[in-house]
Amino acid sequence: MGKVQVRETSTSSSKSNIIEVDALKEEVTTLKGQLAIQEEQMRAQGEQMRAQLRVQGDKMKTYAKTVRDLVRAIQMSSLQISLPTPHLAPPSTSKPPRPTDTQ
């Protein structure tokens, strides 16, 4: 009777192991499917980002060309643009500077 009980226990243990292995196989299959979906989403996002970068690069090239054209036009017209010179002299007293009255 002891041998029969041992055999039943090992059979029960084997069935339990088989069920656990099958459950793990199913989980692995599910995880592989999820991973494949995530990989596809990341690939699509990467392509979208590359396309956005190309568009931004094209815009930057257009802006740079426009600036070059403007600089060239200013140079060709001999237009002199003078900017006001800032007053950089240090204050003559230790009192904090006050804005000049413009009225």
Q: How far apart are CA 96 and CA 79, in angstroms?
A: 39
Instruction: Report the number of distinct structural domains present in the chain.
Output: 1
List the single range of 1-5, 68-72, 93-97 with lowest mean pLDDT.
1-5
**Would 59 be classed as within a structural domain?**
yes
**Would 61 be classed as within a structural domain?**
yes
**Would 86 be classed as within a structural domain?**
no
Summary mean pLDDT of the chain: 83
Q: Is the pLDDT of residue 52 over 90?
A: yes
15-27: per-residue pLDDT in tens? 999 999 999 999 9
CB 96 within 8 A of CB 102: no
Q: Which of 85, 69, 87 is nearest to 77 (CA)?
A: 69
Query: Within a 13 Å sphere around the CA of 39, how many CA atoms are in the beta-carbon half?
Result: 6
Say which residues have a Cβ less than 8 Å from residue 97's Cβ, sequence separation at least 6.
91
- The domain in which residue 31 lies consists of 14-76
Q: How many residues in the chain?
A: 103
**Would 4 be classed as within a structural domain?**
no
For the chain, what percent of residues have pLDDT higher than 90? 49
Residue 5's pLDDT band (cuts 50, 70, 90): low
**Would 46 be classed as within a structural domain?**
yes
